[in-house]
A and B are shown apart, each in its own frame.
Chain A
Amino acid sequence: MTLMLSAGSQQVFAQSDTSDNDLERMLDADKSATKKSQFVSATFKSTHIVNGQSIENVGKGVLDFRILHRFGTLNTGSENFFGLDNAITKLALDYGITNWLMVGVGRSTFDKEFDFFTKIKLARQKEHKAMSFSVSYVGGLYIQSLPASTFHLDTGQTYYFSNRVCYMNQLLIAHKFSNAFSMQIMPTHIHYNLVDSSKNPNDLFALGVGGRLKLSNRIALTGEYYYTLNPFSEANDLPVHNALSFGVDIETGGHVFQLIFTNSTAITERAVIGQTNGDWGSGDIHFGFNISRVFTIVQPKEFKNSRNKIW
């Protein structure tokens, strides 16, 4: 009986010993059962690395207004203000329909081109897993709108609308190695309905590689290179080079500024990947910038009764 009593009192003692450490252990112990693996976030700062797409989508209900500029080449000298006298401009609106589906529309100076894209998240990298990757698909549609009179058509020949159209299929495979360093590879297929020389292929295949290195929480270096497997022999009557671009991402609240150097004068993928004429070696380098400003159009539903009105 004494034994039982002492056992009983021991139990009382054990129960009453609830220091903070014990409580913490209780929280931690239980968590292992319910812990869900988190997805990696912020692999890149912006939805684009430099010219091409990054694995990042804008969130559901978020509109991204992008202003993009590419100036002339630096080697045009001081009389052309090192290229700043002429510029290619693109304005774009990107929107997140869901957290995994994003669409965009843009208009750029180069070939008076309209472009449309959709980006779909297929897989997301999980935290603390070495062999886990984020994968997205990008589908692009490009329609140039140059007047038909610029094409020197023979009499009686018609310039079909379909001649103006290009398509792109692209996979983005990204891995965030650390808080500071991310990489992405981009197998790409571009179909040109019409090419300007029979020596140029209608279907172009390329492999891109891009990366980001954060210098601080708000500043990052980016780079991007597209290797074309079956390059055009010429574009715009000039030799073709692989596109190589570098950038600096600067983030200030709702804006991301990307200051870039690239050998591409155009901004959309079909022209950057397939029809880049600039040669880094001879100084055909374009300065340019991307400005991204995001607007939250649809509030998350958890905040319907918020005392903070964002409109």
Chain B
Amino acid sequence: MKVMKKNVIITVLLTCCISVAFGQKYLTRTGQITFFSSTPLENIEARNNEVAAIVSQQGDIVFQAPIKSFKFQKELMQEHFNEEYMESDKYPKADFKGKIDNLSSVNFSKDGNYNVKVTGKLTIHGVTKDVSEPGTIIIKGNDITVNSKFSVATVDYNIKIPALMAGKIAKSIEVTVNCILSAVK
């Protein structure tokens, strides 16, 4: 009986250790994604602080950005963004599902900055594209910070820009991801 108890404890401990090592997930619902469109006529910036993101230690990544949560400096731009460009009633969120390519170079149990390459499917405005972008993961205790900066071409995602506005909206939009995820208990 005594041996049995010991074994139980060992098993439980082992299970815990293994699940920490392999199964740990990090999650946030208040991640930030900003985008910046720069042309000689006009710069446009929008910020979204309601991004949901989840990262597992197996290297799986899911990001979801509700389109209506992008805030603009000019209120009317926000309305046009939703009504005319992103059609957010039809396509309420943009998402990314992918994997960390170089998972072996990330040590989740050791604090530090790790450069990663992430490959997966990015869906914006109902159009899904395969993408592969660089980023960094900063590990600090139970929190990880995911940073990435990449460009999105509006034409790739079937976002129509009328000729009249072509001078004011960049063809390629700079997207910045800055999300702090906490370990899921």
Binding site for B on A (CB under 8 A): 1, 4-5, 7-8, 11-12, 15-16, 18-20, 23-24, 26-27, 30-31, 34, 38, 41-42, 58-60, 62, 179, 217-218, 251-254, 294, 296, 299-300, 302-303, 306-308, 310
The answer for the CA separation of A155 and B107 in the assembled complex, in Å, is 98
Residues of B within 8 A of A253 (CB): 80, 164-165, 168
B47 close to chain A: CB less than 8 A? yes
B contact residues around A296 at 8 Å (CB): 73-75
0 or 1 for each of B31-54: is its CB under 8 Å from A? (1 = yes): 000001000000111010000101
The CA-CA distance from A251 to B162 in the complex, in Å, is 11
- Chain B, residues 6-17, CB within 8 Å of chain A (1/0): the string is 011001101100
Contact of B79 among A20, A42, A310 (CB under 8 A): A42
> In the complex, which of the residues A1, A4, A7, A58 contacts B75, with contact meaning CB atoms closer than 8 Å?
A58
Q: Which of A8, A18, A303 contacts B25 (CB 8 A)?
A: A18
Q: B27 — which chain A residues lie within 8 A by C-beta?
A: 26-27, 30
State whether A23 touches B56 (Cβ < 8 A).
yes
Q: What is the distance, in angstroms, from A16's C-beta to the closest C-beta of chain B?
A: 4
Asked, given contacts A8-B14, A42-B79, A253-B168, whether A308 binds B23 with beta carbons under 8 Å apart, the answer is no
A11 CB contact (under 8 Å) in B15, B74, B164, B168: B15
- Max chain A CB contacts within 10 Å: which of B43, B62, B165? B62
B43 touches A252 (CB 8 A): no
Question: CB < 8 Å: which of B73, B87, B164 contacts A300?
Answer: B73
Q: Would A42 and B73 count as touching, CB distance under 8 A? A: no
Please list 17 pairs of residues, one from A and one from B, whose beta carbons are closer than 8 Å in the complex, sorted by A's number: A11-B19, A16-B19, A16-B22, A19-B60, A23-B25, A23-B56, A24-B97, A27-B52, A27-B62, A34-B29, A38-B68, A251-B80, A252-B165, A253-B165, A303-B45, A303-B73, A307-B36
Using CB atoms, name the residue of chain A closest to B52: A27
Q: Which residues of B contact A5 (CB under 8 A)?
A: 7, 11
Contact present for A1 and B4 (CB under 8 Å): yes
Task: Please report the C-alpha to C-alpha distance between residue A58 and residue B75 in the assembled complex, in whole angstroms.
Answer: 8
Minimum CB–CB distance from A54 to chain B (whole Å) comes to 14
Distance to closest chain A CB from B164 (angstroms):
6
Find chain B residues with CB under 8 A from A18 CB.
23, 25, 56, 58, 60
Interchain CA distance A13-B38 in the complex, whole Å: 48
Helix, strand, loop or mixed for chain B's interface? Answer: mixed
In the complex with contacts A218-B162, A308-B45, A31-B52 CB distance below 8 A: yes
- Total chain B interface residues with beta-carbon distance under 8 A: 47
Question: What CA separation (Å) do A253 and B85 show in the bound complex?
Answer: 12
Q: Are B73 and A306 in contact (CB under 8 A)?
A: yes
B127 CB-CB contact with A under 8 Å: no
How far is it, in angstroms, between the C-alpha of A253 and the C-alpha of B22 when the chains are bound?
Answer: 50
Contact between A12 and B18, CB atoms less than 8 A apart: yes
Check A4 against B11 for contact (C-beta < 8 Å).
yes
Given contacts A254-B76, A296-B73, A306-B73, contact A4 B45 (CB under 8 A): no
A300–B54 CA distance with the chains assembled, in angstroms: 29
Residue in chain A with minimal CB distance to B24: A15
Determine the distance from Cα of A203 to Cα of B164 in the docked complex, in whole angstroms. 48
**Which partner residue on chain A sits nearest B89 by CB separation?**
A179
Question: Closest approach, in angstroms, between the C-beta of B14 and any C-beta of chain A?
Answer: 6
Interface mask (B148-163 → A, CB under 8 Å = 1, otherwise 0): 0000000000000010
Task: Tell me the nearest residue of chain A to B44, going by C-beta.
Answer: A308
- Determine if B111 is an interface residue (Cβ-Cβ < 8 Å): no
**Are B168 and A8 in contact, with the CB atoms below 8 A?**
no
Point out the residues of chain B lying under 8 angstroms from A218, CB to CB.
Answer: 84, 162
Contacting residues, chain B, for A303 (C-beta < 8 A) = 45, 47, 73
Q: Is the CB of B12 within 8 A of A300?
A: no
B97-141 contact mask (Cβ, 8 Å, vs A): 1 or 0: 110000000000000000000000000000000000000000000
B22, A307: Cβ atoms closer than 8 Å? no
Name B97's closest neighbour in chain A (CB-CB): A20
> Which B residues are in CB contact (< 8 Å) with A31?
29, 52
